[in-house]
Structure 1
Amino acid sequence: MRIVLAGSSHWHAEMHLDAAHSCNAEIAGIWDEDAEHARAFATRHHLPFIADFAKILTSPPDVILLMGHPSTVPARARAVIEAGIPLILEKPAASSTGALAALRDLARQHRAFVSVPLPNRFGPAVTAFERLRRQGRAGAVAHCQFRLVNGPPQRYAAEGVAWVVDPAIGGGGALRNLGIHGVDAALSLATGGLQLKAVSIENRIHRAAVEDHALLMLEDAAGALFVVEAGYTFASMRPGGDFEWRIVSENASLIDYGDRAICATLDDGAIVDLPIELPATRYRLCMGDTLDRLARKAPPGTSINDYVAAMSLIDAAYEKAGR
């Protein structure tokens, strides 16, 4: 697979490059709105530099990974979709759900392949639970907790993307940026729709323009409870923060702490350690799944439809919280 990384100044660019290398993909070029940034990135990694985005469309690779500023990504995503080129669309891809939904509708119209990296879908607790479910051993989901709390919002200024904490551009704070992973996890495991039972969205420590902590309590049509917590309140700038993915069903309890994971099953009394992939490198698993599906002409495992669904639920949470 030949892949172009379009948007080298995005804070996940290095993760996606690592993921592409792990899949033995050929990096066909590096592009960014800031040409000097892209040139330096390409030079540092000994990769081809692309100065003009239009050239990517006229000499297309197998797939384009697009990431960048929410004000400019939608137009470029439209161009990629209309050109018939498979697309991996990194978040945030738009400042509003409406703009993102317009891209989704365009993708449907063109029957386009648009994958969205939601790497915690490939975490050990989720994949082990899906395996138990296929074996008929999981039972109904009872309750789940998805927590992703990173360091203070200044981390984005340090990365050169201070716009992430500008609500007019990023569309929100910790819930929109980090909590979307937990909301997507809840949606993927829920039976029927999700109802917002309780919402807390506040600035508990930092006085930024966006919230630094959010807590959602949701319930599905079968009565399963889902708690999503997201924040910029971890007291460190180091990667990782406070991470926990917990899935509890009738026959299984699975907990992913980021650097270790366990699975307990009632039917055989076992408690086992699960093979671990760190959250930062789960992009490798996400990329591998995406390229495999693309090669098989199968639809993406995590698509723009999933992205819009999570964004819409987050919109409802902001509205319920009066924000």
Structure 2
Amino acid sequence: MVDGIKRVVVIESTHWHAPLYYSALQARDDVKVVGVSDSAGRTGEEVARRFGCNHYVSTTEMLERERPDFAFVFGRHVDMPNLASALIERRIPFAIEKPCGLHTADVLALRQRAEAIGLYVAVPLIFRLSDTLAVLREAGGTLEQGSFRFIAGPPQRYLAAGVPWMLDPDLAGGGPLINLGVHFIDLFALLADDPIVSVSAGSSSRMNGLPIEDVISIRLLTSGGRLGTIECGYLFPSDAALQRDFEFACRMERSYCVSREDGILVRSWQEDGSVSAKRHPARFETDLYYPEFVRRVLDESAAGAVPFAGLAEAQRALAVVEAAYLSAAQGGIAVDPRTFEA
């Protein structure tokens, strides 16, 4: 860090989430982006021009030459463990896109290495910054039952974005569950505050004809008997006006919260036995929260704070993903996700 300015790098800029970070980085007077790497050779030069910095094909060369104080890590899921390892080895704090790897064991190894040296590592489990979480928290108590559905646009959008690897399970780890479902696994686990001990799932690849799932439905059961269901897929006829189908319903201890087009309806039991109803405005477009993620992690790392979401949470979510894929492959049998974290 020179004159109080944190030197930041962007690793593997050819990722559809990377542009969501740029405006927040440019808005910081205490941050200078000094390098952009892009081994795919698609967006790196343009992004580097935007920040007035150097462009690299090799992340290793960029880290050696630029000596950053912080990194934002993107890239293919299969490459994430090696990219993260390079930063841990150099003791460079970073934020890394989910799922952080293909397997729980990879993320566990990263977590153990980072924790051993006290290194800051954040993961954008973005619903932790959302209006949705704020309203559910305000409703009070723990989550007793939750149902979440998130159906995104068709997989061809990843071809258009220049990331065809997202449709290859050997490179991406799977389809919508590992890409989208991790957010709702994390949200359920956070609100239930109870270990997930059983996962069962069913999936289909019939409609899009790809080796990744088109749609998957999973059931989560905690040690205390709390129940969650998550359905996600690449099926929605999306366009610029409407990109996805998203809805949820959550039973909290004394209230029932359900998504509506204009926000969240909360129906609560009062002390006298009556029921109150209130609509809360909520922004469901998750892209809106990434600038806040950038601000949050830069401030947390500068203050020496613990990340609001990190490798421990990514590890827990990925264990559930692996359990769900195993369950679906074996006809929906129940699988304990903790076996993947041993």
Given candidates 28, 39, 42, the residue that maps to 1:33 is 39
Deviates more, 1:274-283 or 1:15-24: 15-24
Given candidates 55, 59, 67, the residue that maps to 2:74 is 67
Decide whether the 8 Å contact of 1:19 with 1:281 is kept in 2: no
How far apart are 1:209 and its partner, in Å? Answer: 0.8
How far apart are 1:31 and its partner, in Å? Answer: 2.2
Given candidates 298, 301, 304, the residue that maps to 1:291 is 298
Q: Give the alignment of 1:67-146 within 5 angstroms.
A: 67-132=74-139, 138-146=140-148
How far apart are 1:8 and its partner, in Å? Answer: 1.1
Instruction: Quote the Cα distance in structure 2 between the aligned partners of 1:21 and 1:260.
Output: 31
Decide whether the 8 Å contact of 2:73 with 2:97 is kept in 1: yes
Partner SS, residue 229 of structure 1: strand
**Partner in structure 1 of residue 257 of structure 2:** 254
Deviates more, 1:203-212 or 1:140-149: 140-149
How far apart are 1:60 and its partner, in Å? Answer: 3.4
Matched, 1:241 2:240: no
How far apart are 1:253 and its partner, in Å? Answer: 3.0
Given candidates 25, 32, 50, the residue that maps to 2:55 is 50
TM-score of the superposition, structure 2-length normalised?
0.83
Instruction: Quote the Cα distance in structure 2 between the aligned partners of 1:111 and 1:310.
Output: 22
Partner SS, residue 321 of structure 1: helix
Instruction: Quote the Cα distance in structure 1 between the aligned partners of 2:214 and 2:184.
Output: 16
- Structure 2 residues without counterparts, runs of 5 or longer: 1-5, 331-342
AA partner of residue 188 (structure 1):
L
Decide whether the 8 Å contact of 2:153 with 2:234 is kept in 1: yes
Instruction: Quote the Cα distance in structure 2 between the aligned partners of 1:278 and 1:110.
Output: 36
**Partner in structure 2 of residue 167 of structure 1:** 169
Decide whether the 8 Å contact of 2:150 with 2:244 is kept in 1: yes
CA offset digits 1:276-300 (Å, max 9, x no partner): 3621111123223322322321111
Decide whether the 8 Å contact of 1:4 with 1:64 is kept in 2: yes
Partner SS, residue 269 of structure 1: strand
Q: Give the alignment of 1:185-264 within 5 angstroms.
A: 185-196=187-198, 198-238=200-240, 240-256=243-259, 260-264=263-267
Percent identity of paired positions between Structure 1 and Structure 2: 27
How far apart are 1:306 and its partner, in Å? Answer: 0.7
Deviates more, 1:231-240 or 1:146-155: 231-240
Partner SS, residue 321 of structure 2: helix
AA partner of residue 213 (structure 1):
V
The count of residues paired between Structure 1 and Structure 2 equals 317
Decide whether the 8 Å contact of 1:57 with 1:83 is kept in 2: no
- Structure 1 residues without counterparts, runs of 5 or longer: 133-137
CA offset digits 1:172-211 (Å, max 9, x no partner): 1111111111111122122322133641111242111111
Decide whether the 8 Å contact of 1:19 with 1:287 is kept in 2: yes
How far apart are 1:73 and its partner, in Å? Answer: 3.0
Instruction: Quote the Cα distance in structure 1 between the aligned partners of 2:94 and 2:250.
Output: 31
Instruction: Quote the Cα distance in structure 2 between the aligned partners of 1:61 and 1:266.
Output: 53
How far apart are 1:50 and its partner, in Å? Answer: 3.2
How far apart are 1:23 and its partner, in Å? Answer: 5.9
**Partner in structure 2 of residue 304 of structure 1:** 311
Deviates more, 1:56-65 or 1:144-153: 56-65
How far apart are 1:2 and its partner, in Å? Answer: 4.4
Decide whether the 8 Å contact of 1:38 with 1:49 is kept in 2: no
TM-score of the superposition, structure 1-length normalised?
0.88
Instruction: Quote the Cα distance in structure 2 between the aligned partners of 1:204 and 1:187.
Output: 30
